[in-house]
Amino acid sequence: MSPDDRSDDMLADRDADFAFEVVLEGRDPGDEHRALAMLADDLRVVTGGPPPIPSRALATVLAGTPARPRRRRRARATSRAGRWNRAARVAGGAAAAVTGLAGAAAVGALPSPVVDAMRPVVELVTPFDLSRDPHDHDPAPSDTPDRGDPAPPTRSPDSPMTATSAPSSGDGTFPEGLPAAGTPPAHGQSGTPPGQSGQPVHSGQPGIPPGQSDQPAHSGQSGTPPGQSGIPPGQSDQPAHSGQSGTPPGQSGQASGHSGQALGQSGTATGQSGQASGQSSTAPGQSSTAPGQSSTAPGQSGSTHGQSGHAPHQSGSTYGPSGHSPHPSGSSPGPGTSRPGPPSSPPSRADQSPGHTGEPAGQSGTRSGRPGPSLSRPSQPPAPPAAPSPAG
C-alpha cells in the first residue's frame, strides 16, 4: 500500500467518523452519507418503543433486591450467633449443675450412691475428700456394741470403710480401703482414731485377752496425756502409725504421735487416754505391753489381733469419717452426738471401757482438741450404764 493510499484511507476514516458524529447528533450528514442517515433512522425505530417484559430474575432485582443478599447474610450470621448462644447456655447450665452436685456432695447432703458417683469429680476438682461419709458411720456404733465380736465390721456395705474393715478383720490383711489407717496422712488418721475410741471398748472389756490388749494400748493412750510425753521409745516407734491411724492400738503407744498430729486429733487421743486412764486401772505396764502390740501398725495390730483388731479397724474406719466431719465429734461429745449409734452404745461401751465412752468424749476431744475437757470426762459417762448392756 502506497503512502498516497494510506493518506486517502486516513482521510476517508476521518470523514466517516465525522459523518457518524453528525448522525448521532441528529443532524443531516449530507448526500454523501445519506445511507448512513437512513440506517440511523431505522435503528432509532428498532430501538424505540417500550422495554421488554423483564424476566423473573430481573423483576426481583427491580423490586429493590440488591439489599436482600445482605439481609440473608445478616440472618445467617444471627442464626449462627443464636446457635452459639444456645450452646453456651447449655454448657453453662451443665457446668452449674455439676458444680451444684459437687458442692452438695462435698457437704454430704447427697445420698451415698450419689456421693459415690460424684466422689471422683469432687476429689479431683475440690480439696474435699468424700472417701468417707459421716452418715455411713451412724449404724456402726450400734453394731459394735458387742465388743467381743469380731463381727463389728458390719458396717453399711456402702461405705468404703466397711469394705476395708471387713477384710482386715478376717485376714488381717489390709485392703486398699485401709490406707486410711495405714497411711499416716490419710484422712483416716485425722478423725478416726480418737473418736473411735471404739477400740477402747475392747480395752475396756474386762478379761480381754492379751491379744486384745490392743485396748490396753488404748489405755496406754490414756496414759498418753501425761505419759505421752514420757512415752517410752518403743511406743514412740509406732508413733508414725499411731500418729496416722490414730487407731486404737497405735494410739496408746502413739499417744505421743497423736499429740504430734493435729490438735484435734491429739486432743481426742488424750481424751480417750484420759478416760482410759481414769477408768481402767490399766497399769502403765499394760500400756507398755501395748506398745509391743502396737508396734504393729495400728491397722495391722487390728488385723493381727483378730477380733480385737477388727474393732480398731472398724473404729478407725468408722471414726475416720467422723474425724473428717467435725460435726459429730466436735458438735457434741457423748450422747449429744446426733448419731443414734453412739448414744446407745456409749453406755455399754462405757462399761467396758472408758474408751468407748470416750468415743463421744473422744469426739468431743477431737473437736476441742483440748486435753482439759477430754480428761475431765472420763469420770462422768462411762461406767454405770455400760455394764448392763454388752458385757452382760
Partner 1 sequence: MPYCRDGEDEPFETVLAAARAGEAWALERLYASLAPAVAGFLRVQRAAEPDDLTSEVFVGVLRNLGSFRGDEANFRSWVFTIAYRRLSDERRAAGRRPLVQSLDDTPDPVDPGDVQADVERLLATHRVRELCGTLPPAQRDVLLLRLVGRLTIDEIAPLLGRSRGAVKALQRRGLARVTRRLEREGVPL
Q: What residue ranges bind partner 1 (CB under 8 A)? A: 9, 12-13, 15-17, 19-20, 23-24, 31, 33-36, 38-43, 45-55, 57-58, 61-67
- Taking the complex as a whole, how short is the minimal distance between the CB of residue 23 and partner 1, in angstroms? 7
Rounded CA separation 289/256 (Å) = 16
Rounded CA separation 182/245 (Å) = 6
Q: Give which of 273, 271, 245, 272 is closest to 257, Cα–Cα.
A: 245
**Residue-by-residue DSSP string for 250-263:** HHHHHHHHHHHS-H
Q: What amino acid is encoded at 303 in this protein?
A: S
Nearer to partner 1, 38 or 114 (CB): 38
- Taking the complex as a whole, how short is the minimal distance between the CB of residue 7 and partner 1, in angstroms? 13
Exposure b/e, 245-273, CB count within 10 A at least 16 = b: bbbbbbbbbbbbbbbbbbebbbbbbbbbb
- Taking the complex as a whole, how short is the minimal distance between the CB of residue 89 and partner 1, in angstroms? 36
Rounded CA separation 216/203 (Å) = 5
- Taking the complex as a whole, how short is the minimal distance between the CB of residue 10 and partner 1, in angstroms? 9
- Taking the complex as a whole, how short is the minimal distance between the CB of residue 60 and partner 1, in angstroms? 9
Nearer to partner 1, 20 or 128 (CB): 20
Nearer to partner 1, 47 or 281 (CB): 47
Nearer to partner 1, 45 or 124 (CB): 45
Nearer to partner 1, 49 or 233 (CB): 49
Nearer to partner 1, 38 or 75 (CB): 38
Q: Give which of 344, 348, 350, 352 is closest to 380, Cα–Cα.
A: 350
- Taking the complex as a whole, how short is the minimal distance between the CB of residue 78 and partner 1, in angstroms? 20
Nearer to partner 1, 31 or 124 (CB): 31
Helices and strands of the chain, counted as H and E runs:
25, 0
Contacts for 370 with CB less than 8 Å, ≥ 6 apart: 263, 267
Assigned C-alpha cell, 69: 443478599
Rounded CA separation 20/90 (Å) = 74
- Taking the complex as a whole, how short is the minimal distance between the CB of residue 77 and partner 1, in angstroms? 20
